[in-house]
Amino acid sequence: MTKNCNKFHLVVKGDGCSAIGTKYGVSFAQLLSWNPAIGSNCESLQLDVHVCVGVIGGATTTTTTSSTTSKGNGIVTPTPIREGTTSTCTQFHFVVKGDTCATLGTKYGVTFAQIFAWNPTVGSSCDGMWLDTYVCVKATGGPTVSPTTTAKTTSTSTTTGNGVATPTPTQPGMVTNCKTFYKVVKGDGCQAIADRYKITLANFKKWNTGVGTNCELMWLDAYVCVGVL
């Protein structure tokens, strides 16, 4: 740990570098600089150990200009970048405060399913996207997402607490007691989905708090909840 630390955080169960960075308003690059033992992918963050989340003088991290060449496509890959990012990436985005998978999808005309496929470390709910790191927003031979209106999927994980198999990726802010899911396709709106499943718009937003006040944050090709236990 850096010697000029003046603010500390005790790591507890459920913490990750992204969550800690958000809580204290610092970037992953700063966390790594102050706590090099956490590892370049935050894989060595330990429970019940203090990490530095602030330094004397409030030092900021300068974005690095170094780069490496990705194998396979000849595109110069900027750093820092997360491990697991697709090697066929042709366009990158530097994550800044306020960025979400939804805003990046809108900006670059891609779906969340594509962002997740190219950057698996962002997580199925986009809670693992780190500030001041690069993510891939376009790739050669990248996954194409076929629109579908079915709520069924063969790739599922079991949601803890209710025993219902939950498809992924899911809309951030979804309730944990959901039993019926719908995969958002191009042209969908919150009201249209609510009408289709004969539920109120208020309930739809209550069950999917991350869609935003005007449904502006609803993700294409992600699952939303349309029925609860």
Is the residue at 147 inside a domain?
no
Q: What is the pLDDT of residue 20?
A: 86
Q: Are residues 201 and 165 in the same domain?
A: yes
3-state secondary structure 184-220: CCCCCCHHHHHHHCCCCHHHHHHHEHHHCCCCCCCCC
Q: What is the pLDDT of residue 137?
A: 93
Is the residue at 146 inside a domain?
no
Q: Are residues 123 and 172 in the same domain?
A: no
Is the residue at 116 inside a domain?
yes
* Positions in the chain whose pLDDT score sits under 50: 59-70, 143-156, 158-160
Measured in residues, the chain has a length of 229
Is the residue at 201 inside a domain?
yes
Domain containing 14 equals: 5-55
Q: What is the pLDDT of residue 58?
A: 63
Q: Which residues contact 176 (CB under 8 A, 6 or more apart)?
A: 159, 160, 161, 162
CB 61 within 8 A of CB 75: no
Is the residue at 212 inside a domain?
yes
Is the residue at 184 inside a domain?
yes
DSSP state, residue 21 = H
Integer Rg of the chain from CA:
19
Q: What is the pLDDT of residue 194?
A: 94
CB 185 within 8 A of CB 147: yes
Q: What is the pLDDT of residue 118?
A: 92
Q: Of 58, 61, 48, 37, nearest to 9 (Cα)?
A: 48
Q: Are residues 50 and 72 in the same domain?
A: no
Q: What is the pLDDT of residue 161?
A: 57
Q: Are residues 44 and 75 in the same domain?
A: no
Q: What is the pLDDT of residue 153?
A: 35
Q: Are residues 37 and 72 in the same domain?
A: no
Q: What is the CATH number of the domain that holds 51?
A: 3.10.350.10
| pTM metric for this prediction | 0.51
pLDDT tens profile 183-219: 998 888 899 999 999 999 999 999 998 888 888 788 8
Residue at token pair 């629109």? 147
Q: Are residues 162 and 189 in the same domain?
A: yes
Count structural domains, the chain. Answer: 3
Q: What is the pLDDT of residue 44?
A: 83
Q: What is the pLDDT of residue 90?
A: 92
Q: Are residues 24 and 50 in the same domain?
A: yes
Q: Are residues 71 and 51 in the same domain?
A: no
* Strand (E) or helix (H) holding 115: helix 112-118
Q: What is the pLDDT of residue 62?
A: 39
Q: Are residues 213 and 176 in the same domain?
A: yes
In the listed set 112, 139, 166, which residue is the last one of a domain according to the structure? 139
Is the residue at 62 inside a domain?
no
CA 221 to chain centre: 14
Q: Are residues 75 and 21 in the same domain?
A: no
Q: Are residues 218 and 161 in the same domain?
A: yes
Is the residue at 149 inside a domain?
no
